[in-house]
Structure formats: structure tokens, C-alpha cells
A and B are shown apart, each in its own frame.
Chain A
Amino acid sequence: GAGVSQSPRYKVAKRGQDVALRCDPISGHVSLFWYQQALGQGPEFLTYFQNEAQLDKSGLPSDRFFAERPEGSVSTLKIQRTQQEDSAVYLCASSLGTWTGAGNTEAFFGQGTRLTVV
């Protein structure tokens, strides 16, 4: 597609429910990122994939959060046993190149999934 696509756009989950958020990056983009944006805040880094390899998951807030990109394209962010503090917009971004310090590749963001845990 023309841009990064995320689904669903909105998700309401009951506390304790598991959720799965999907990201379709721009075709051919090697790098994929997940960010969490709490209300009134800037996005915070969660995790980074280079193709199918998850190179950094240091931003995942707890072991309830899990991300995968098994074939190096579509990615899923899964949150188990959701809590109210998980309520946020989850943004996916992709970029064409790998991050080798060249630094000149900008990331393209999807519209995000707004998760509300009630």
C-alpha cells in the first residue's frame, strides 16, 4: 500500500483481556518500529525489527507485551492481560533502510491504534 496501515483503528478491551494490534508496513521497508503514545505525551519507543529479527525490545513496559514480525513484513503487537495503564495510542512506523548510523532514513508512521482498557 501507499503508507503504513494499522488495524484496528480503535480497540476497547476489558481489563484482563488479551489484544493483538496489527501493522502493515510500507512494502519493502526493512525496519519496523512500535511506539506507545500516552495521552498528552510524545511517542515512546517500544521495540525495533530489522526484517524478521527483533533487535531491540528494551522499551516494552512489561512481559505482558510481545511483538513479532515472522516473515519480515506484517507485525503484530500483543498485549496480554491488559491493564488500564496500557490505554494509549500504539503507533507503528517503518523505514526503507537499516539503521547503520547513516541516519538519513526517516520513519513513516501509521495512523495508530487507540487502545482503551476499561
Chain B
Amino acid sequence: AQSVAQPEDQVNVAEGNPLTVKCTYSVSGNPYLFWYVQYPNRGLQFLLKYITGDNLVKGSYGFEAEFNKSQTSFHLKKPSALVSDSALYFCAVRDPSNDYKLSFGAGTTVTVRA
């Protein structure tokens, strides 16, 4: 069975500083990995995905994520955080053999202070 762990419930950074949100995964085959963001009273918004190819994936709003197979990690990064990045971030994994089911982590609340 596939699973995702987000080891930090909360991440706090100052505006302009780098932001990292950690994610590790467990899946039997090669994973398909996703990051979603959830703003208050809004649905999940897709940020980026890793399917194959380059380990560094670039997505929306200046976010990027690095796939590390040996460490089974897919950490989300942004070089310079904005106050507007404050939200709840979810990492998710799909096992290609399981096709359609997304398994989500518990989420990490990011707070960027001015």
C-alpha cells in the first residue's frame, strides 16, 4: 500500500526566506508524486507533479520540488517565501499499479510572517 508522511505539522518562516515543506513516501513501484495547496475556504489547488524525468520539478507560484529516490522524498521548496504563501500544503502519491487513488499526507501548515 502507498503512503505519504509529512513530518512537520507547521512550518514558520519570515518573508523573503527560503521555504521547505518535507514529504516522504512509500510505494511499491515508481511513484507519481504531487503537491497541492489549500487556502482557507477553498479547494485543493494543484501545484506540481513528478511523473518521470528530471528530479527537479517546477510548478505554480514559484514552487519547485525535488524527487530523491534513494531517500524516498519529495520536498517542496520556494527560494523566497511570500506572506501570501501561508496555507495548508499536502503531498500526495499514486502508485502506478494502483492507478487512480491519491494517498495524501496529513498536511503542513505554512505561516509566512511579514
State the A residues within 8 Å of B (CB).
3-4, 6, 31, 33, 35, 40-45, 48, 55-56, 91, 93, 99-101, 103-104, 106-112
A6: nearest residue on chain B (CB-CB)?
B43
Counted as pairs of residues, one from A and one from B, with CB atoms less than 8 Å apart, the total is 63
Q: Apart from A6-B43, A99-B99, A101-B96, what 12 extra A-B contacts exist at CB < 8 Å?
A: A40-B107, A41-B106, A42-B4, A93-B44, A103-B32, A103-B51, A103-B96, A104-B32, A104-B51, A106-B34, A109-B36, A110-B43
A18 to B49, CA, bound (A): 38
Query: Are A106 and B44 neighbours in the complex by a CB distance under 8 Å?
Result: no
Judge whether B100 is part of the interface by a CB distance below 8 angstroms. Answer: yes
CB distance from B91 to the nearest CB of A (A): 9
CB distance from A76 to the nearest CB of B (A): 18
**Interface of chain A, main secondary structure:** loop
Query: Are A106 and B94 neighbours in the complex by a CB distance under 8 Å?
Result: no
Q: Which bracket fits the contact residues of B?
A: 20 to 34
25 contacts between A and B (CB under 8 A): A4-B43, A31-B100, A33-B100, A35-B102, A41-B106, A42-B90, A42-B92, A42-B104, A42-B106, A43-B44, A43-B90, A43-B104, A44-B104, A48-B101, A91-B44, A99-B100, A101-B96, A103-B51, A103-B96, A104-B49, A106-B49, A107-B102, A108-B46, A109-B43, A109-B46
B82-100: CB near A (< 8 Å → 1, else 0) gives 0000000010101011011
